[in-house]
Amino acid sequence: MTINLALEYIPRRMQELGYKADYYIRFRHLVLQPNEEQTIDAFNQFYYLVEEAENVRVESETGVFDLSESTTNEMQYEHQSKIHITNYLSGINHLRFIQVIPKHKIKTTIKK
Amino acid sequence: MLKATKKRFDIKITQANSTVSDTFELDKNIVKVHGVLVTSDKDDLLYYRGTQKIEINKEEFFPENYESKLLMSGINVAPKQRYYDLGGVAPGNGRVQITYKDLDDGRTVFAAYRVSLYLDCEMEDEL
Amino acid sequence: MMKEGVIITKISIKRQGERKHFQIKLPKDTKFIIGIEYGGRLISKSDAIKFAAAPKAAPTEELPKTEVIESVTVAVTIEERSKTFFKRNQLIGELKLQSSEESNWFYSTDVFGADANLKYGDFSNAGFNVNDYTHGNKRTEEIVKVDAESTIIQGWYLDALGKSQKVDINYEVTIYVWINVEE
């Protein structure tokens, strides 16, 4: 996803989900060590994969992004919950995300 | 408006006699947890070998060594009756922790398997 | 009713001069962040380590329950000198924390090894070995007040120990975020 597309896409998506404008947005540029695997806790958050992402696998409960994956018919750019990242390169690799963090709704009363 | 929703969390058991612990977070708009159950892709292994501790918002609902067979429901159970009723638990900080232990039982041969924890929840539709 | 709790985050440092960024998620029911504390422990060191600082410098950070690894004590002959001069403490690293709302960067600190100056000005020569747990101040958290609407705390830790020794040191820094939770 290009950053421009992400910036158009995110506000609409947040409206759809009911968060309106109550979210924080962060740009994350991860540096992955050779053959590194990591798991990111992204519960109640959204990570949008932007820019180039080669020789890397990003998998979460919403789908997988892996250009070398041949068994899927679609790549997923929006990730949630536990995100598993695998660097296939034996050198340093880079991965860019836009992280969207919906705010805790402490001030709103929720019917119990 | 309140709606019913089911959440699933998976853990992978890759080694025999190991303990796997993981913490998951419920969506912010979930207001109550009504029930739980566990399933697996190799349900015989879950039945004979598994025990787990389940905590929601740091409150322990099932202690260590609580057998998985007590939280499994077979196909002969009516679908709406399969979940273990917790009576409507407030999610608090929304964190669910499961500590699952796999133990040899002499009858089954270990193979890597997945254990899934299902939660029957109620969510607030309008945030 | 308010309850207090703490969120513990461990940062692992493996390379010299490493800057580690991290995020700490606040639980949904948090009202405020009320305090910050830090500690750490050494995991492994290479044999080539030399302590550039004063005699008693040891790479253990101050925290009551930290596992104490080794402290290098130089022979007694320079004791006279060590009593009168103020020693340089070993800087382990720098830590900064940022909230997502108005508070922005709300906490900054230098993480030091054990306080090498506990014996400063003690001319009694009583033979009583000075340690953190005999002469050190009681450790409590530093008070802050940050609204938990922040949801996420971002921060970074920058290694100074490995950089000054010019060697990769593997250690762990633990950050304790004290929070107020609504019951």
Residue B124: pLDDT band (50, 70, 90) is confident
Locate the domains of chain C by residue range: 2-182
Distances (CA, A) of C154 to A52, A104, C105, C178: 25, 16, 9, 15
Query: Would residue A59 count as lying in a domain?
Result: yes
Residue A64 pLDDT: 94
Q: Which residues are A41's β-sheet partners?
A: A82
B50 three-state secondary structure: strand
Interface probe, candidates B33, B57, B93, chain C, greatest C C-beta count within 10 A: B93
Q: Residue C63 carries which side chain, given as an amino acid letter?
A: L
Residue C84: pLDDT band (50, 70, 90) is low
pLDDT tens profile B64-109: 999 999 999 999 999 999 999 999 999 988 999 999 999 999 999 9
Q: Which residues of B touch C (CB under 8 A)?
A: 28, 91-95
| Residue numbers of the domain that contains B91 | 2-124
CATH number assigned to the domain comprising residue B100? 2.60.120
Query: Would residue A111 count as lying in a domain?
Result: no
Distance, in Å, from the CA atom of B64 to the CA atom of C3, rounded to the nearest integer, reads: 26
Q: Which chains touch C (3 or more CB pairs under 8 A)?
A: A, B
Residue C125, number of CB atoms within 10 A of its CB: 9
Distance, in Å, from the CA atom of B87 to the CA atom of B93, rounded to the nearest integer, reads: 18
Asked whether the predicted pLDDT for residue C87 surpasses 90, the reply is no
Give contacts of A111 with chain B, Cβ < 8 Å.
Answer: 2, 31, 124
Asked whether the predicted pLDDT for residue C49 surpasses 50, the reply is no
B48 three-state secondary structure: helix
pLDDT tens profile A34-47: 999 999 999 999 99
Asked whether the predicted pLDDT for residue C77 surpasses 70, the reply is no
Residues 6+ apart with CB under 8 A from C142: C35, C36, C37, C107, C109
pTM (2 decimals)? Answer: 0.80
User: Searching chain A, which residue's CA lies closest to the CA of residue B29?
Assistant: A110
pLDDT tens profile C91-126: 999 999 999 888 889 999 999 887 888 877 777 777
Looking at every residue in chain C, the average pLDDT score rounds to 78
User: Searching chain A, which residue's CA lies closest to the CA of residue C27?
Assistant: A104
Domains of chain B: total: 1
Cβ–Cβ of C152/A24 closer than 8 Å?
Answer: yes
Query: Would residue A11 count as lying in a domain?
Result: yes
Residue A83 pLDDT: 95
Question: Half-sphere exposure of A101 toward its Cβ, with a 13 Å CA cutoff?
Answer: 25
| Residue numbers of the domain that contains A14 | 3-102
CATH number assigned to the domain comprising residue A84? 2.60.120
Asked whether the predicted pLDDT for residue C75 surpasses 80, the reply is no
Q: Which chains touch B (3 or more CB pairs under 8 A)?
A: A, C
Instruction: List chain A residues with pLDDT less than 70.
Output: 105-112
Asked whether this complex has an ipTM greater than 0.85, the answer is no
